[in-house]
Amino acid sequence: MKTYLAQRLVVALLTLLGMSAVIFALLRLAPGDIVDILFSTAGYVSPAEKQAIMKELGIDHPYWVHYLDWLRQIAVVDLGMSYRYDLLAWQLIKPLVPVTLELAALSILFAVLIGVPSGVVSAVRQDTALDYALRVFSLAGLSMPAFWLGMVIILGLVTWFAWIPPLSYVSPTENFKLHAVQFLLPALAVGYRSSALIMRITRSSLLEVMREDYIRTAWAKGQTGRVVIWRHALKNAMLPVVTIIGIEFAFLIGGLVVTETVFNLPGVARFLVQAILWRDYPVVQNLVMFIAIVVILSNLLVDMLYGVLDPRVRYGG
C-alpha cells in the first residue's frame, strides 16, 4: 500500500510539472498581455513608457526565466503579485476557494443523495413505469444546463413567492440561514445534472452485477431483497459510480463559471475568467494549478476507495 501510494505521488508530481509547462505556454500563446490591454484604448504609447511598465511588473524577462521563477514560487508557497490589483495573489485567491469548494461539495452531496437511490430503484424495477419515469428524469437532468435551471429557479421564486436570493455573497458567520439558502439553490441546480449521470451509471452497473452467480446464490439462500441489493450487489456496483463522483467533483471546481455568475457567488471559476481577460498571469497560473491539484487528489482518493469497496483490489508493497 505504501509503495503504491508513493508511486502515485511521484506520478502526481510529474503530472503537475507537465501541467505547469502546458499552463504557462498556453497562457503566453494568447495574444497581448496586461500592458497591451491597459494601453489598448490610449492610442499611441511611448515605447519607453511601455517598457518601464513591463519592467515594473517584471514581465520584461525571457519566458524561461518567468517559468523558473514561477516553479520557485510554488516550491516556497509564494504565489507572486497580481498584475491587476498589485496585491499578493494568495490574498485574492484565499477567500474564493472556500466558496467554490462549498458549492462543489454541496452539489456532489445532492447528486449522490438523489442519483444513487434513484439508480438502485430504477435497476430493481427494470422496465416498469417507475423505471421509465426515472430514466426520463435523468435524461432531463443531462439535457438541461445547470445555469439555465438556476435562472429558471430564480424566475420561479420571483414570480411565485416575490422573493429573490441575496444579490451579494453572505458569509455563514454573518447570517447562516441566508447563507445556506444562497448555496442551496445553485447546489440543487448543479447537483441535479450530476445526479442524472450518477443515476444512469448506478443503474447500468447494478444491472450488470445482479446477473452475477453470487447474487443468484444469495437469492437461492433465501436472503431478503434489501440485503441482497444493498449489502451485496450495490457494494460491488459502486466502483464505476465512485469514479464518476470523483470526476464530477473535480470538474465542478473549474466548471462553475456561469453558475457562480448567475447566483453572484465570488468563487474560483468566476474570478478565473476575469483574470484571463486581464492576462493576470500569476492569478491565472495558480488558479489553474489549484484545479489540477484537486483533479489529481480526487483521482488518488478514488483509487484508494477501490480497496475499501472491493476486497479483491490489492496494492503492491
pLDDT at 199: 92
Cα atoms found within 13 Å of the Cα of residue 12, Cβ hemisphere only: 18
Give the fold, CATH level 3, of 97-265: MetI-like fold (1.10.3720)
> Three-state SS string across the chain, please?
CHHHHHHHHHHHHHHHHHHHHHHHHHHHHCCCCHHHHHCCCCCCCCHHHHHHHHHHHCCCCCHHHHHHHHHHHHHCCCCCECCCCCCEHHHHHCCHHHHHHHHHHHHHHHHHHHHHHHHHHHHHCCCCHHHHHHHHHHHHHHHCCHHHHHHHHHHHHHHHHCCCCCCCCCCCCCCHHHHHHHHHHHHHHHHHHHHHHHHHHHHHHHHHHCCCHHHHHHHHCCCCHHHHHHHHHHHHHHHHHHHHHHHHHHHHHHCCHHHHHHCCCCCHHHHHHHHHHCCCHHHHHHHHHHHHHHHHHHHHHHHHHHHHHCCCCCCCC
For residue 311, what is its C-alpha cell? 476486497
- What's the pLDDT score for residue 150? 81
> Cell numbers at residue 104, please?
462543489
User: What's residue 142's pLDDT?
Assistant: 84
Query: In the prediction, which pLDDT does 68 show?
Result: 86
Q: How far apart are CA 93 and CA 97, in angstroms?
A: 6
**What local confidence, expressed as pLDDT, does residue 118 receive?**
92
Q: Give the per-residue pLDDT at 315.
A: 57
pLDDT at 45: 63
pTM, two decimals, is: 0.81
Q: Delimit the domains of the chain by residue range.
A: 15-93, 97-265
Contact criterion met (CB below 8 Å) for 289 and 12:
no
- Model pLDDT for residues 77-101, shown as the tens digit of each residue: 777 788 778 788 888 888 888 888 8
Please identify every stretch of the chain with a pLDDT value under 50, giving residue numbers as ranges.
Answer: none
Tens of pLDDT, residues 253-302: 877 877 888 888 888 888 888 888 878 888 888 888 888 888 888 888 88
User: Over the range 235-272, which residues count as b (16 or more CB within 10 Å of their CB) and which as e?
Assistant: ebbbbebbbbbbbbbbbbbbebbbbbebbebebbbbbb
Which pLDDT score is estimated for 36?
67
Residue 198's pLDDT is what? 92
